[in-house]
């Protein structure tokens, strides 16, 4: 699979930050009525080492499988064994990153089911994973007698990012993490859109958030507020780091100042995030850039 800049960066961080040793074999857990989860090992961003695969639908099946991200054969076998008991009707993708789609093509092929995602995700996956059903904001991606999964378009981390609302729970993909952090990389992400999407999710009535990495977040509203506060704090720190009064600074200096509270080993990630903040601030006319030097 071709590596996106985000995946290349994940790889770089994995080489620098040890992930927790592999733990017990994956077990299927019920996290909400009509939603079960299986955490499978994936090449993701440390400290996370797994991506949650959500099985949505009636206990007896068939279910929709959200983000079968593991490219590893042993993990795919575990998923196949679980699915063998309930049956599957489709694969749903929150977005195009490898740790969310790594097992999608193989799974859809084995079970002869369609893969559904947002059109922008389909474009990004062209030639890698064949998306056969397109999903738009507000559409019901999958329904069964007792419920349904409704798409909420939440661009920012990725331009085709969807969340899936099921009753009072939201399968949130990479909007929020239960473990680790969400990277907004300016090559494929957009900080302004990400903040808008966080606001949008927060305005909805759902409470429980089911992230792609880490455990369920019972109070979704509080977590979304925390994320918004944190990102705005960081934006302010980035802005404060940009010199005024005729001075200017290079990216490395801005990272050192705006992320002085972040371990150095994470600065490659911080730099991407900082650039995403700068793109937003530049668009808003709050900073200027000349030949790689930033001022305001």
Residues that bind Zn ion (CB under 5 A): 97, 174
State in angstroms the smallest separation of the CB of 53 from Zn ion.
Answer: 14
Nearer to Zn ion, 97 or 118 (CB): 97
* Phi, psi angles (nearest 5°) of residue 142: -165, 135
Nearer to Zn ion, 52 or 254 (CB): 52
- Dihedral sign for Cα 26, 30, 36, 42, please: negative
Nearer to Zn ion, 174 or 235 (CB): 174
Nearer to Zn ion, 97 or 277 (CB): 97
Most distant CA pair in the chain: distance in Å?
A: 67
Nearer to Zn ion, 52 or 83 (CB): 52
**Cα three-residue angle 227-269-222, rounded to 5 degrees:** 10
State in angstroms the smallest separation of the CB of 151 from Zn ion.
Answer: 17
Question: Backbone dihedral region of 290: left (phi > 0), alpha (psi from -120 to 50 degrees) or beta?
Answer: beta
Nearest to 184 by CA among 94, 279, 273: 273
State in angstroms the smallest separation of the CB of 157 from Zn ion.
Answer: 6
State in angstroms the smallest separation of the CB of 261 from Zn ion.
Answer: 24
Three-class SS state of 46: coil
Strands 140-144 and 147-153: what pairing?
antiparallel
State in angstroms the smallest separation of the CB of 205 from Zn ion.
Answer: 25
Which residue's CB comes closest to Zn ion? 97
Nearer to Zn ion, 97 or 124 (CB): 97
Nearer to Zn ion, 142 or 194 (CB): 194
Nearer to Zn ion, 48 or 254 (CB): 48
Nearest to 201 by CA among 157, 148, 147: 157
State in angstroms the smallest separation of the CB of 55 from Zn ion.
Answer: 20
Beta-bridge mates of residue 40 = 51
Joined tokens for residue 194? 């990400």
Q: In Å, what is the CA distance from 124 to each residue of 92, 188, 196? A: 15, 10, 22
State in angstroms the smallest separation of the CB of 212 from Zn ion.
Answer: 7
Nearest to 217 by CA among 185, 167, 245, 176: 176
State in angstroms the smallest separation of the CB of 13 from Zn ion.
Answer: 13
Question: Are the C-beta atoms of residues 248 and 293 closer than 8 Å to each other?
Answer: yes
């Amino acid at each position: 699979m071709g590596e996106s800049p985000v995946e290349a960066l994940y790889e770089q961080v994995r080489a620098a930050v040890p992930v927790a040793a592999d733990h017990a074999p994956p077990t299927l857990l019920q996290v909400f009525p009509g939603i079960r989860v299986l955490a499978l090992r994936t090449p993701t961003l440390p400290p996370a080492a797994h991506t949650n695969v959500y099985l949505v639908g009636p206990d007896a099946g068939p279910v929709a499988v959200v983000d079968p991200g593991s490219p590893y054969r042993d993990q795919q076998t575990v998923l196949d064994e679980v699915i063998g008991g309930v049956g599957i009707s489709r694969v749903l993708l929150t977005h195009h990153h490898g740790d969310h789609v790594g097992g999608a093509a193989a799974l859809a092929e084995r079970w002869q089911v369609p893969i559904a995602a947002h059109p922008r995700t389909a474009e990004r996956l062209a030639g890698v994973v064949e998306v056969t059903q397109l999903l738009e904001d507000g559409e019901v991606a999958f329904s069964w007698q007792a419920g349904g999964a409704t798409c909420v378009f939440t661009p920012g981390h990725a331009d085709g990012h969807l969340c899936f609302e099921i009753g009072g729970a939201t399968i949130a993909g990479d909007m929020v993490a239960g473990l680790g952090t969400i990277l907004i990389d300016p090559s494929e992400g957009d900080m302004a859109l990400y903040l808008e999407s966080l606001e949008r999710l927060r305005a909805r009535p759902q409470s429980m958030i089911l992230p792609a990495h880490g455990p369920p977040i019972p109070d979704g509203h509080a977590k979304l507020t925390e994320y918004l506060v944190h990102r705005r704090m960081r934006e302010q720190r980035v802005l404060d780091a940009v010199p005024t009064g005729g001075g200017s600074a290079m990216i490395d200096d801005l990272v050192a100042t705006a992320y002085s509270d972040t371990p150095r080993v994470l600065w490659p990630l911080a730099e991407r995030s900082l650039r995403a903040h700068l793109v937003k601030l530049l668009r808003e006319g709050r900073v200027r850039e000349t030949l790689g030097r930033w001022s305001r």
